[in-house]
Amino acid sequence: MVEAFRRFRTTMNKTALTQRPAWKALEAHYQSVKDAHLRKLFADDPKRGERLAAEGVGLYLDYSKNRVTDETIQLLLKLAEECDLRGRINAMFLGEKINITEDRAVLHVALRAPRGQSIILNGENVVPKVHTVLDKMAEFADHVRNGAWKGYTGKSIRNVVNIGIGGSNLGPVMAYEALRHYSMREMTFRFVSNVDGTDLAEAVRDLDPEETLFIVSSKTFTTQETMTNAHSAKQWIVNRFSNKRAVADHFVAVSTNAREVAQFGIDPVNMFGFWDWVGGRYSMDSAIGLATMIAIGSKEFRSMLAGFHAMDDHFRTAPFDKNLPVLMGLLGVWYNNFFGAQTAAVLPYDQYLKRFPAYLQQLTMESNGKHITLGGTRVDYQTGPVFWGEPGTNGQHSFYQLIHQGTKLIPCDFIGFCYPLNPIGDQHELLISNLFAQSEALAFGKTAEEVKAEGTADALVPHRVFEGNRPSNTILAAQLTPESLGKLVALYEHVVFTQGAIWDIDSFDQWGVELGKVLAKKITPELESFVDPELKHDSSTNALIRRYRHSKTRIRG
């Protein structure tokens, strides 16, 4: 690791972000455009809506409803150059150890590289290894889907339960929900993550153990929540069959830790591997996607990978002014660092994408929620915003009020598909007209004159005015397919990358999750122990522990 830091320090451009000429120019530029209204920007440039758009690998990005001028975009692109975004992209694709605090390469792009491509890491081409695992997954998925894989009593598998948390859960569950339309409907898929016993209990309560397969998904195979749930699931199986040998027929593992997998009782033959250069939140297209592959089949899974790869190529090769992830990443920086926006919303107008915002929360916030630069100093600017969202149109009837008329600026990403997967009457037209209407209303609003002209009583006029000038991107794709999902996820992965490069942070570590884990380990035995003087926390934590013990004892009786 020391070597990684040394190597990095000699190559890094030491100019602090806020001292860069483009940053300073953007600060000055912000003062001149901050009050410009989208109404005027559109009125002055009738072609703006077509001009400020970009298309890549079948995704159409309309970024015209952003509070930018051509000069803003030029300055943001200049900032990207000054921050050597191009160099950082190349470094990632070349397998350099850009995750410097963990001294690791960041090669999720290799997970979707086509057979025959070469990506060299430590002198070895990693692409063949990726395809060996994919082939093994495909063979296994086929066996489960066609009933050839049998449980302990000889019955075929009808239920698959993925046990994993964080990156080993959010990607698989998001992808399963997103691609449910393509999934094998005769089978049931469940995803257990929380150490709260309710999660496992509710997931298995109506399942027949004879027909249930557990996938224990854990890169490390030591994560407390996952291993606790996996051991409870193992007990559920052993209790049912009164024989430990049943474990081998009802459990497979996805991990990098063969030793722990074998110790758990899973035949290492049924372990699907991946590598330390795949970060948890970037792993849904590795073996961590096994549940997804069983659900949709290996052909569709590979088409999802092709979608990822197409976006990787676009990100690597497209000029920055036509590069979707670069443009979106820079626009995010513009609002985060110049307008002071604290949050960003993602609003997919597709019910299948209901877990997409939760997935993006981890991707964006775990990656860019950092306050130390690659050089080891504290940043003097804002980094990653709070990311949140819900599918439309549901959100319209809850939190959109605040986006339209609240006091906070919330840049939004609207996502829509032109062809529905479930055409029922005119419902899709209603859905998409709502999407377009929302971005229009946010941008242009409604003036006091317009409200008055409708005959509104004077006292009500201010309440019914929409100021507008609320920025948004709209991303349109033809249809939600495995391939378009791959493109969409890769788009956001690279948006995160772009922003991390600008903010000069390590988007691939997650030290911020460690402290809580350590403290929880210390507290667990204290909840059961009644030797009060042993409590050595702050007075608040001590009081909470005592309160918990007391209440639990009273309920237990």
Residues in touch with ligand G6Q (CB under 6 A): 165-168, 218-220, 223, 226, 279-281, 366, 510
Taking the CA atoms of 425, 431, 436 and 440 in sequence, report the sign of the dihedral they define.
positive
150 carries an active-site annotation: no
Distance CA 223, CA 542 (A): 26
* Cα–Cα distance measured from residue 205 to residue 238, given in angstroms and rounded to the nearest whole number: 16
Contact 211, 155 (CB under 8 A): yes
Q: Cβ of residue 217: shortest distance to ligand G6Q, in angstroms?
A: 7
CB nearer ligand G6Q, residue 53 or residue 195: 195
Q: Are 484 and 307 in contact (CB under 8 A)?
A: yes
C-beta of 168: minimal distance to ligand G6Q in Å? 4
CB of 301 to ligand G6Q, least distance (A): 19
Whichever of 170 and 480 has its CB closer to ligand G6Q, that residue is 170
The answer to whether residues 500 and 323 touch, using CB atoms and an 8 Å cutoff, is no
Spatial contact of 339 and 86, defined as CB atoms under 8 Å apart = no
| CA–CA distance, 142 with 303 (Å, rounded to integer) | 16
Q: Which residue, among 264, 288, 293, has the nearest Cα to 274 in the 3D structure?
A: 288
Closest CB to ligand G6Q among residues 320, 508: 508
Which alpha helices (DSSP H) does 366-481 contain, by range?
367-368, 400-405, 427-444, 448-453, 461-464
Measured CA to CA, the distance from residue 513 to residue 220 in angstroms comes to 15
Element (H, E) at 313: helix 298-317
- Whichever of 270 and 479 has its CB closer to ligand G6Q, that residue is 270
- Classify burial at 540, counting beta carbons within 10 Å of its beta carbon; exposed 0-12, middle 13-18, buried 19 or more: exposed
Q: Which of 14, 47, 397, 463 is catalytic?
A: 397
Please tell me which residue in 96, 225, 300, 366 is annotated as part of the active site: 366
Q: Is the dihedral of CA 218, 221, 226, 231 positive or negative?
A: positive
Return the number of the residue (292 or 337) whose C-beta is nearest ligand G6Q: 292
Among 262, 303, 304, 287, which residue's Cα sits nearest to residue 162? 287
What sign does the dihedral 58-59-64-69 (CA atoms) show? negative
Pairing of strands 271-273, 251-255: parallel
**What is the C-alpha R_g of the chain?**
25
Q: Which is nearer to ligand G6Q, 160 or 443 (CB)?
A: 160
- Going by C-alpha positions, the residue among 133, 91, 92 that lies closest to residue 111 is 133
DSSP assignment string, 17-84: GGGSHHHHHHHHHHHHHTT--HHHHHHH-TTHHHHSEEEETTEEEE-TTSS--HHHHHHHHHHHHHTT
Active site residue 397: yes
Length of the chain: 557
CB of 167 to ligand G6Q, least distance (A): 3
Tokens 């200049």 identify what position?
78
Nearer to ligand G6Q (CB atom), residue 360 or residue 443: 360
CB of 85 to ligand G6Q, least distance (A): 22
CB of 310 to ligand G6Q, least distance (A): 24
Is 366 one of the annotated active-site residues of the chain? yes
**Catalytic pick from 231, 517, 521, 522?**
517
State how beta strands 412-417 and 271-273 pair: unpaired
- Taking the CB of residue 207, how many other CB atoms lie within 10 A of it? 16
Please state, in angstroms and rounded to a whole number, the distance separating the CA atoms of residues 342 and 321: 26
Catalytically active residues, by annotation: 366, 397, 517
